[in-house]
Amino acid sequence: MKTIQRTANYIVNCCQYQDKKDVQRLNKHLKKAIANELIKALVEINKRFTKKIIIHPNNKKLANLFITFANEKIIFPQNTTFELFNDGNSYQIVDGKRHKLVDKKTDRSKEMQEEALNWLSAFKTKHENEMFELEAQIKKMTITYQETIAPTQAELTRPKPIVLGDFLSQGWEKKLASLPHAPIHFQGRKGIKL
């Protein structure tokens, strides 16, 4: 039924009105009335012939409709035939060239849906990449933090250098004697090591 309505509306938009002076486009009320008559005729034909309906002034099944058009001074497009298939496709044949009639709303909604899916996948990929980079940065920061805070095994086994200034307070000689193998650093002007 939607295909019939869509095709009927397209045909009505192609029709024109012949008044006393010249040919004009149809007004809204006339378009609606003609579309309703055309839809009624196409539904009746569709009940009997389910495969294909040919809409042309020479079609005997639509003769009454085209007589009504002539009486109302409505001009059907010349050298044009419309084919309406039961599978939802409809075609306009002008001078032997066949053009598919496309429902602009359905076509646009499909296009918008594809755009949304493409945008969503791009956003998802970008988000995944950002999360991967963020996780890598967190791991790197954790390793750097652990390296700066936690002492290594070499630092734990190596004796801490003793600075002479540490022992200059009371009893530094005893402390120095208690550590015979530890290196002693003098933090003075010349930087002498003992």
Per-residue pLDDT reduced to its tens digit, 57-73 = 888 888 888 888 888 88
Q: What is the pTM of this model?
A: 0.47
Residues of the chain where predicted confidence (pLDDT) is lower than 50:
192-194
Query: What Cα–Cα distance (Å) separates residue 161 from each residue in 128, 153, 168?
Result: 49, 16, 15
How big is the CA angle at 181 (ends 175 and 182), to the nearest 5 degrees? 65
Predicted local distance difference test score (pLDDT) of residue 155: 61
Question: In this structure, are 130 and 83 located in the same domain?
Answer: no
78 inside domain = yes
Number of domains in the chain: 3
65 inside domain = yes
Q: Decide: 53 and 87 in contact? Cβ < 8 Å.
A: no
List the domain range (segments joined by +) for residue 145.
Answer: 104-150
* The dihedral sign for the CA sequence 23, 14, 105, 40: positive
Predicted local distance difference test score (pLDDT) of residue 80: 82
Residue by residue, DSSP assigns 121-147 as HHHHHHHHHHHHHHHHHHHHHHHHHHH
194 inside domain = no
